[in-house]
Structure 1
Amino acid sequence: MSTLIVAFPKIEEAKAVRNLLVRKGYEVAIPCITGAQVINQADNLSDGIIICGYKLSDNMIYTELNEYKPKSFEMLLVASRNLWGDCQDNDIVCAAMPIKVNDLCSTIEMMLQAQVRRRRKLRSQPRRRSPQEQKIIDDAKAILMERNNMSEPEAFRYIQKCSMDSGNTMVESAQMVISIYDGG
């Protein structure tokens, strides 16, 4: 599950928001008051949402924080509407001050669901092979085509079937084909 990082210029504000979110069942990291603390926390976590004010105690503005944060983190700016200047350009979600608890929780829930959908989409996409891996598969196909008179699709399906039957990757199965034919 994604972790929330709460960052406001005053520690009392950060702790209050953190405590509120913890009571609502969210996993929240240590409250932060500086941009450096936020970046440090985010670097130690896989992904999540940074909930922050316009400007932190080290004078880091939300746009700078957005620049330095890991790509796996999203940002929720809690500030008055007149400070939302660059939000749409930087894909930053905004919530107007003063914010209601239910509005804050709904916005966080929406952002968390979007992250889950993105993760699922990334997992469902086939992994890209490196040029070296593709060369191994192509070499194995060439060997099967030459020695067993297979067409290119037949050779590919053979390696694919070997991979599925053995539980190995396509590259590992292609390496086995190469070692069997080159070794024998």
Structure 2
Amino acid sequence: MKKRLTVAAVSFALLFTIGTGSVFADSKLDNVVSSAIGTDYVSGGTSTSGFDCSGFTKYVFSHLGIKLPHQSGSQYKMGTAVSKDELIAGDLVFFNTSGKGVSHVGVFVGDGKFAHASSSKGVVISNLSDKYYVERYVGAKRIMSTDKYEDVATDGGDQDNVE
């Protein structure tokens, strides 16, 4: 019951967060991310039974038809680097939370926010401008091609593959 209330509250907040600042509102990306909000953190997790950070991004992108490895450092080696002021919904954002290089990843959802699997809170939406993330930000990568971006940005409501 607690998880359902949390999911409902976070989903309501997500509607306002993603819906106002993202071209992905009611899109494939929005639907996949929304379905995972509130899922518990589980080290090594890659499903709605529990996620770690790279398991979450791997899950999201698999539902968009893109394969990612299950390790944030490996994901950081993919795609094209983009600056913070050029971020678009669907870009991956990376952080050094361990002091040893890239150790955390999330999906930018627009309006200065990103979805990620927090080890303390599970799958949540956070602000890139939060001091914690500003101090640990490493960079961002664009994984989707322009054609793929247009496909997932415009084809809303397709939840056939969302678990």
Richer in helix (by share): 1
Structure with higher Rg: it is 1
Q: RCO higher in 1 or 2 (8 Å CA, sep ≥ 6)? A: 2
TM-score range, shorter chain: under 0.3
Richer in strand (by share): 2
TM-score by length of 2: 0.28
